[in-house]
Amino acid sequence: MPYSIPDDEYLKEALHRVIKRNKGISSLKKLKKLVIKELKIKNPDYTVSSERLRKIAVTAPFIDVTIESRRNDSIKDLKGRCPVCDGLLKKTKNETIFGGTVTLGYKCMRCPYWTTLQRRIPTRYRFEYDKEGNSHEDRLQERNKDK
């Protein structure tokens, strides 16, 4: 089967249309199906891999992504890279009562992925339209305010 790869710009456009039209897409598989359908309107040979779509979707400003994950039993080295979008991970630290710091885990600088030292393996994604285009940082603060 012949196939072509759309450029990032067109992929984002298609993603934007899909996410705007559908309220809450509960898995990457569903999102992929909808996006490919949208891409094919322009070119019937267009397709996109799950990995590429995931990386674009988790960092798109118009999407609020929720990442569900399970704990991993075996400690695997993340090599400083996010397993969701390949972005850089930042250590999250807490101050101890003795004036030192302790590493609690890692959080991604680009997408909503975070993990404790016991690695969290992403299992499911949920995509919601965010018309305000907040950054993940803003959303995090917004959520913490509610608590």
Residues that bind Zn ion (CB under 5 A): 82, 84-85, 87, 108, 110-111, 113
55 near 108, Cβ under 8 Å? Answer: no
Alpha-carbon distance of 28 to 124, in angstroms, equals: 7
Q: How far is the CB of 82 from Zn ion (least distance, A)?
A: 3
Q: How far is the CB of 73 from Zn ion (least distance, A)?
A: 22
Q: Which is nearer to Zn ion, 5 or 109 (CB)?
A: 109
Q: Which is nearer to Zn ion, 23 or 79 (CB)?
A: 79
- Residue 40 sits at the vertex; the CA angle it makes with 38 and 41, to the nearest 5 degrees, is 70
Alpha-carbon distance of 4 to 47, in angstroms, equals: 6
Alpha-carbon distance of 139 to 121, in angstroms, equals: 22
Q: Which is nearer to Zn ion, 28 or 84 (CB)?
A: 84
Q: Which residues 6+ apart lie within 8 Å of 67 measured at CB?
A: 58, 84, 111, 112, 113, 122, 124, 125
Q: How far is the CB of 32 from Zn ion (least distance, A)?
A: 18
18 near 40, Cβ under 8 Å? Answer: no
Q: Which is nearer to Zn ion, 39 or 108 (CB)?
A: 108
Q: How far is the CB of 125 from Zn ion (least distance, A)?
A: 12
